[in-house]
Amino acid sequence: MNKTGISLFIPGLGKRTIRAVISDFTGTLSVDGKLTSCARESLSKLSKKVDLYVVTADTCNTAAGELRGLPLKMHKLKGPGGDHDLQKRQFLSRFDSRVVAALGNGNNDRLLLKAVKEAGGLAVAVDNGEGCAVDSIQNANLFVSGVSNALNLLLKTDRLKATLRF
């Protein structure tokens, strides 16, 4: 991680710097396995400031093709499931969780979101049209409807002040 990062100040929470974004793919960045066009554009912009990672079970087997050409790293989870929540949390151990923004919508994102939130990073539960697991919402700092809105929180950080300030 050698990019400038994203600096934010949230009254009541203090100063934060985000250096990496870890996101789920299916239902978070995509709908029915297709990356949304706004996600492609926003990820390209974010990549200039932070390192991007997509950690996915790839339910529709489309992530590699849909993410092709974007400046990010994709990590596909192993096996049919049952421990994908643990694998996502384990992936986080490669980073200082305090400088991570995590995005997810499924039950398998809940431990990742919880670990990032508890460390002082930014955990965002995202409903991109396929729903959002209640456990993910409860383990996030905030819930957002639409991946465009979620990614724009990082591109337009003043939006976070209104939602997360005390």
pLDDT for 92 equals 98
pLDDT for 6 equals 97
Q: Is residue 11 part of a domain?
A: yes
Question: What percent of the residues of the chain are helix, what percent strand, and what percent coil, each to the nearest 5?
Answer: 35, 25, 35
Q: Is residue 157 part of a domain?
A: yes
Q: Is residue 71 part of a domain?
A: yes
Q: Is residue 24 part of a domain?
A: yes
* Buried-state track 59-94, b at ≥16 Cβ within 10 A, e below 16: bbebbeebbeebebebeebeeeeeebbebbbeebee
- How many domains, the chain? 1
pLDDT for 162 equals 87
Q: Is residue 38 part of a domain?
A: yes
pTM listed for this prediction: 0.96
pLDDT for 97 equals 97
Alpha carbons 105 and 3: distance in angstroms, whole number? 27
Q: Is residue 121 part of a domain?
A: yes
CATH number for the domain spanning 140: value is 3.40.50.1000
Q: Is residue 156 part of a domain?
A: yes
Domain range spanning residue 36?
A: 6-161
pLDDT for 80 equals 87
pLDDT for 2 equals 64
Q: Is residue 166 part of a domain?
A: no
pLDDT in tens, the chain (166 residues): 568 999 999 998 899 999 999 999 999 999 999 999 999 999 999 999 999 999 999 999 999 999 999 999 999 999 988 899 999 999 999 999 999 999 999 999 999 999 999 999 999 999 999 999 999 999 999 999 999 999 999 999 999 998 999 8
